[in-house]
Amino acid sequence: MRGIIVLPVVLIWTIFCGILGIVMRIFIPADQCVKIIAYDLWAPVIFFLFGIKFTCEFEEELPKVPSIYIANHLSQLDIAALVGSIPKGLFFVAKKELSYIPLLAQYMKVMGMIFVDRGNREKAIQSMEEAADKVSKGKNLVTFPEGTRSTTGQLLSFKKGSFVIAQKRNIPIVPIAIFGADKALKKGSFWVKPHPIHVHIGKAITLEEYQGITPGELAEYSRNRIQSYLDKYTPTAK
């Protein structure tokens, strides 16, 4: 019941953060702006309002160079979980449909987020190349390689786009496992429950590890890494 009651407050807070971010972007760089809006302001308040206990652990220090962060996708709360875990400006590759949502679209465009047309392979490749350019220029990219939210909680197969650009540009890949987000907010629902959410940020996969393999093999290698986290930590994350 709490989730339904506070939903209007969450919406107002999100709109406020979006407008603040658009204004702040006039004065400060996008990565710094995204970090302040998402990590410092938006995500912590979202979890507080919904009564969600949020925890995060790191296997090692985050890479100091721009990286591609990949995660399993369970819920709309995954975005808050990721930006609330990593104290850096994170830039998402998002589905094109989000570019039609008022204010959210303006915020994402001003910050330099990437929209992908999943129904057009050629345009999707162009979008991923644009994303690769941003990483080369110092941005930290976030993708959900499954391409959609899992309705069963099981890890889906990974699409190759993120791994193609990682290999082309020699970009480290940071595998992340998100636990409990689907219990807090199921796909297709607005009913948010105060279920704990935990994020495990794994050791980066370096270019030395993936030399000599195909993007498909790298996708499977990365998927197996995240699956190992899910298998290991699920019992303690419930």
> For the ranges 42-46, 78-82, 124-128, which has the lowest average pLDDT?
124-128
Domain count, the chain: 1
Q: Which comes out higher in pLDDT, residue 187 or 78?
A: 78
Q: Do residues 180 and 50 lie in contact, with contact meaning Cβ atoms separated by under 8 Å?
A: no
Q: What is the mean pLDDT of residues 12-29?
A: 94
pLDDT in tens, 62-71: 999 999 999 9
Q: What is the pLDDT of residue 77?
A: 95
Check whether 82 has a pLDDT greater than 80. yes
Contacts of 227 (CB under 8 A, 6+ apart): 155
111: enclosing H helix or E strand = helix 104-111
Q: Which comes out higher in pLDDT, residue 112 or 164?
A: 164
Q: What is the mean pLDDT of residues 82-109?
A: 85
173: enclosing H helix or E strand = strand 173-179
Percent over 90 (pLDDT), the chain:
58
Question: Where are the extended beta strands (E) located within 34-113?
Answer: 54-58, 68-71, 90-95
Check whether 2 has a pLDDT greater than 70. no
pLDDT in tens, 225-237: 999 999 987 644 4
Q: What is the pLDDT of residue 46?
A: 96
Contacts of 161 (CB under 8 A, 6+ apart): 116, 124, 125, 128, 143, 145
pLDDT in tens, 114-160: 887 767 777 777 777 887 888 878 889 999 999 888 888 889 999 98
Across the chain, what does the average pLDDT equal?
89
CA angle, 81 as apex, 76 and 85 as ends, to 5°? 160
What sign for the dihedral angle of Cα 94, 29, 9, 54? Answer: positive
Q: Between the CA of residue 159 and those of 34, 99, 151, 187, what are the distances in Å?
A: 26, 21, 17, 20
Helix (H, G, I), strand (E, B) or coil at 192: coil
Domain span including residue 226: 2-237
- Burial degree of 5 (CB within 10 A; 0-12, 13-18, 19+): exposed
Total Cβ atoms within 10 A of residue 169: 16
Q: What is the pLDDT of residue 232?
A: 84
Say how far apart CA 214 and CA 211 lie, in whole Å: 9
Q: pTM for the full model?
A: 0.89
Paired with 90 in beta bridges are: 140
> For the ranges 7-16, 77-86, 110-119, 154-163, which has the lowest average pLDDT?
110-119
Q: What is the pLDDT of residue 118?
A: 67
CATH number of residue 9's parent domain: 3.40.1130
Q: What is the pLDDT of residue 43?
A: 96
Side-chain-side CA neighbours of 152 within 13 Å: the count stands at 4
CA angle, 160 as apex, 158 and 161 as ends, to 5°? 120
Q: What is the mean pLDDT of residues 188-195?
A: 86
